[in-house]
Amino acid sequence: MSPSATLACRPSCGACCTAPSITSPIPGMPDGKPAGVRCIQLADDNRCLIFGQPQRPAFCGGLQPSADMCGASREHALHWLAELERATAPG
């Protein structure tokens, strides 16, 4: 899982708003969210409802799309992020 060039988000993907755990508060999810749970701020079209707003967790802004992470499909991104989650889990 090496870093690669930054890309634009894939429309209707939302993998980065579902696969990873987020430990900081999110509006509507004061305790964050566990891995594999869809963020409450993800719209029906899988776009972030708080993108660019101060309430958006720093974690979300720090996770940028890349060829390695996003691959050719949403399924690839979900798998890649789930592997990253497992690799960085405490204990």
The 10s digit of each residue's pLDDT in 8-25 is 889 999 999 999 999 999
74 belongs to a structural domain:
yes
Whether 3 is in a domain gets the answer no
- Residue 79 belongs to some domain of the structure: yes
Residue 7: predicted pLDDT: 79
Domain count, the chain: 1
Q: 59 in a domain, yes or no?
A: yes
Alpha-carbon distance 91 to 41, whole Å? 29
Q: What confidence tens digit (pLDDT) does each residue in 24-72 have?
A: 999 999 999 999 999 999 999 999 999 999 999 999 999 899 999 999 9
DSSP output for 35-72: TTPPPTTB-TTS-BTTTTSTTS-HHHHH---BHHHHTT
In-domain check, residue 56? yes
Query: Residue 45: which domain range?
Result: 15-88
Predicted model pTM: 0.84
Residue 5 covered by a domain: no
Instruction: Collapse the DSSP code of 86 into the 3-class scheme (helix H, G, I; strand E, B; otherwise coil) and give the result.
Output: helix
Q: Cβ(76)–Cβ(70) under 8 Å?
A: yes
